[in-house]
Amino acid sequence: MSARLNDSCLLIGFPDYREAAQRLARAAGIPYADALIHHFPDGETRLQLPESLPEYVVLCRTLDHPNSRLVELVLAAATARDLGVKHITLVAPYLCYMRQDKAFHPGEAVSQRIVGTLLSQWIDALITVDSHLHRVHQLKDAVPVDPAINLSATTVMSAFLGEQLDNPFLVGPDEESEQWVAAIARDSDFDYCVARKQRFGDQQVRVSLPKADYRNRHIVLVDDVASTGHTLEAAMLALAYFQPASISVLVTHALFVGDAQERLHRAGVSNIWSTDAIPHSSNALHLDHLLADALDGCRKSSM
Ligand code: R5P
Give the residue, out of 101, 178, 231, 259, with the most ligand 1 atoms within 8 A of its beta carbon, to mutate for a pocket test: 231
Please name the helix (run of DSSP H) or strand (run of DSSP E) that holds residue 129, with its range, or none. Answer: strand 125-129
10 and 58 in contact (C-beta within 8 Å)?
Answer: yes
- Reported pTM: 0.95
Burial 73-105 (b: 16+ CB within 10 A, else e): bbbbbebbeeeebebbbbbbbbbbbbebbeeee
Compute the distance between CA of residue 168 and CA of residue 65 in angstroms, rounded to an integer: 33
Instruction: Report the atom number in ligand 1 closest to the C-alpha of 230.
Output: 14
Query: Rounded CA gap, 286 and 153, in Å?
Result: 9
Q: How many CB atoms lie within 10 A of CB 121?
A: 11
Q: What is the pLDDT along the chain (303 residues), one digit of tens a residue?
A: 444 445 689 999 999 999 999 999 999 999 999 999 999 999 999 999 999 999 999 999 999 999 999 999 999 999 999 999 999 999 999 999 999 999 999 999 999 999 999 999 999 999 999 999 989 999 999 999 999 999 999 999 999 999 999 999 999 999 999 999 999 999 999 999 999 999 999 889 999 999 999 999 999 999 999 999 999 999 999 999 999 999 999 999 999 999 999 999 999 999 999 999 999 999 999 999 999 999 998 877 776
pLDDT tens for 53-103 read: 999 999 999 999 999 999 999 999 999 999 999 999 999 999 999 999 999
Sign of the CA dihedral with 11 first, then 14, 18, and 21 last: negative
231 Cα to the center of ligand 1, angstroms:
6
> Count of CB atoms within 10 A of residue 138's CB?
10
User: In terms of DSSP bridges, do strands 45-48 and 283-285 run parallel, antiparallel, or are they unpaired?
Assistant: unpaired
CA distance 12 to 258: 30
CA–centroid distance, residue 23 to ligand 1 (Å): 28
How close is the Cα of 6 to the center of ligand 1, in Å?
A: 39
